[in-house]
Structure 1
Amino acid sequence: MKYSQKIILKNGKECWLRNGTEEDGQAVLDNFNLTHRETDYLLFYPDENSFDVEKERRFLKEKSESENEIEIIALVDNVVVGTAGIGAVGKEYKVRHRAQFGIGIAREFWGLGIGKALTAACIECARAAGYKQLELEAVTENASAVSLYKKAGFVEYGRNPRGFNSRITGFQDVTYMRLEL
């Protein structure tokens, strides 16, 4: 899948949303490790990341060549400040109508409209890929994220009070959300 769009952020800066490519491997890996250090709401801790630069490059290459999956990067001043993507839940007939959505943005760029734009881009790509449902999991106490997803049309379909086990706070309630496309 291919995607490219320029947006103007709330602070007046330009942000370019586009496919991540092999050449972006180091920058995307650095952003992943940064975003996963800055918040306790994402699935991984940086020390659990099994990717090195070569694995990241291969991942980005596969996504850029895929017809139904994508990894979009957000660049401000030519620096990767966020990523978002969609991935198939599975290839089997019973689940191939479903895709998963994930997003991460550097804390310095929260509240500027990047999350909203990346979410909209992934929804657009999921529709173009023919998915019928887009799914995500969010830590319930992450009210700004849950609010963003609700504004984008996602609805809650369940919760798991012990969905995540945080090294910092213990168990975290996770909200399951989906969007019919």
Structure 2
Amino acid sequence: MKIAQREYLVKDLSYIIRSATAEDAKILSEVRLRCDGETENLDREQGEAYIDESGFKRIIKDDTESSSNLFLVADVNDKIVGFSRCQGNILKRMSHKVEFGVCVLKEYWGYGIGKNFLIESINWADSNEIKKMTLSVLETNEKAINLYKKYGFEVEGILKKDKILSDGNYYNTILMGRFND
């Protein structure tokens, strides 16, 4: 599905959040690869589960055609610096919910891009009869957890010792959900 683009100005940085297009596929592949190498908050290490340009073109096409998927990008002066997705489910018993995920290049942290992806996604979900949004977040990512709680997400569960990070230690994954009753 597509949404109308919106412009933001945060701390002198102007950016647009808009729906992804097929023309974004190549840079999205590069942005995802770079994001994976900049933080351990994501599931993948850099290069794992790599999605190339054609893979992103398929995802964008499917998400655009689906009423239960949303693929957004953050555009700074025609340069994509992050993206988010809400992925629904074709199974009827789970068709009421979507899973939210987000990725922003580290040099653009602190400009509200992740927060605005979340707000745009919540607005889309609420106006499209999506009853539940879910997400998973690493237990050490307190800033994200607090943001999600601020926008109505609650902890639904904990996956204990779910990830092993570069320090050799295991960390929990927090499962969160937001309900639109």
Q: Which residue of 1 aligns with 2:68?
A: 68
State the Cα distance separating 1:68 from its structure 2 match.
Answer: 1.6
Q: Which residue of 2 aligns with 1:80?
A: 80
Q: Which residue of 1 aligns with 2:28?
A: 28
Find the aligned partners of 2:72 and 2:104 in 1 and give their Cα distance: 12
Q: Which residue of 1 aligns with 2:178?
A: 179
State the Cα distance separating 1:168 from its structure 2 match.
Answer: 4.0
State the Cα distance separating 1:59 from its structure 2 match.
Answer: 1.1
State the Cα distance separating 1:129 from its structure 2 match.
Answer: 2.8
State the Cα distance separating 1:133 from its structure 2 match.
Answer: 0.4
Deviations 1:110-136 (A, max 9, x none): 111111100001111222332100000
Q: How does 1:69-148 map to 2 (within 5 A)?
A: 69-88=69-88, 90-148=89-147
State the Cα distance separating 1:106 from its structure 2 match.
Answer: 0.7
Find the aligned partners of 1:169 and 1:45 in 2 and give their Cα distance: 14
In structure 1, the residue corresponding to 2:119 is in which secondary structure? helix
Find the aligned partners of 2:144 and 2:34 in 1 and give their Cα distance: 18
In structure 2, the residue corresponding to 1:25 is in which secondary structure? helix
Q: Name the aligned partner's letter for residue 130 of structure 2.
A: Y
The size of the alignment, in residue pairs, is 179
Deviations 1:28-82 (A, max 9, x none): 1111011111000101222212311111112112212222201100011211111
Which structure 1 residue ranges, 5 or more long, are not aligned? none
State the Cα distance separating 1:167 from its structure 2 match.
Answer: 4.1
In structure 1, the residue corresponding to 2:94 is in which secondary structure? coil
In structure 1, the residue corresponding to 2:92 is in which secondary structure? coil
Q: Which residue of 1 aligns with 2:6?
A: 5
State the Cα distance separating 1:27 from its structure 2 match.
Answer: 1.0
Find the aligned partners of 2:53 and 2:92 in 1 and give their Cα distance: 33
Which structure 2 residue ranges, 5 or more long, are not aligned? none
State the Cα distance separating 1:169 from its structure 2 match.
Answer: 3.7
In structure 1, the residue corresponding to 2:18 is in which secondary structure? strand
Find the aligned partners of 2:48 and 2:101 in 1 and give their Cα distance: 17
TM-score, normalised to structure 2, is 0.93
| % identical aligned pairs | 24
Q: Which residue of 2 aligns with 1:165?
A: 164
RMSD: 1.3
2:40 touches 2:165 (CA, 8 Å); kept in 1? yes
